[in-house]
Amino acid sequence: MPLLYSCVACDSVVLADHADVVGNFEAATQQILDRTDSSKFSRHTYSVNQYNYHVLTKKGFTFLAIADQEFPMRISFAYLEKIGEKFFSGTLPQRASNAKPYEFRRDFSPILSSCIVQFNKTREVDNMAELHGQVEDVKGVMNQNIEKILERGENLEQLQERTTQLNLNADRFQSQAVRLRRKMWWQNQKVVISLVVVSLLIVGIVSLIICWQEGVFKKK
């Protein structure tokens, strides 16, 4: 729901007001004005029933706006700041000390009305901005997911490269193992042959010695 009612008051005297809808806002507004110190700058909000009463006090004047509780508070106070600027830009503050209740309706109520229209449209623009922001958030999440997928793709490529390198290293190790096994087999064979040769030589020498002692080689 949009801004519904707005007024400008000097102390507790309402100088000008405007209502976009029919409602009994004056009684609650008067109660708030009676307990508001307008001599100090302040910003505060009262919740009454289903409405928020937003109050801005500045230089002895009170600017009040009523909106639905779902209406953004920052837009409500931006509205109050705007009508405050317009009010202080003219001669109305100097005339206010002797003004009667609602004396400035003809001078300032149209400004309240036009600003309400403007800031109610701002709420629509704000909703579009919020929707746009949500879309951007979704796009951001999608981009993050895509980046993660790409990172996973890079990790898969790195893993594939490592696997290929491991396979090459395994093949190389297997080839080296085969060559080493063959080398060790030949070394073992050489040792066996050497032992056989040595054994045969020993057997031959022993046989010759025995034969010599037995006189096998003596002439008859």
Looking up tokens 């609650």 gives 28
Given a cut of 70, the residues of the chain with pLDDT beneath it are 1, 123-156, 159, 173, 216-220
CATH of 3-121, picked from 3.30.450.50, 3.40.50.720, 3.40.50.1820, 3.30.530.20, is 3.30.450.50
What per-residue confidence (pLDDT) applies to 132?
A: 47
What per-residue confidence (pLDDT) applies to 128?
A: 46
Element (H or E) spanning 211, and its range?
Answer: helix 105-214
What per-residue confidence (pLDDT) applies to 153?
A: 61
Three-state DSSP at 8 gives strand
Residue 102, phi-psi category: left (phi > 0), alpha (psi -120 to 50), beta (remainder): left
Distance of CA 20 to the CA centre of its chain: 40
What per-residue confidence (pLDDT) applies to 211?
A: 81
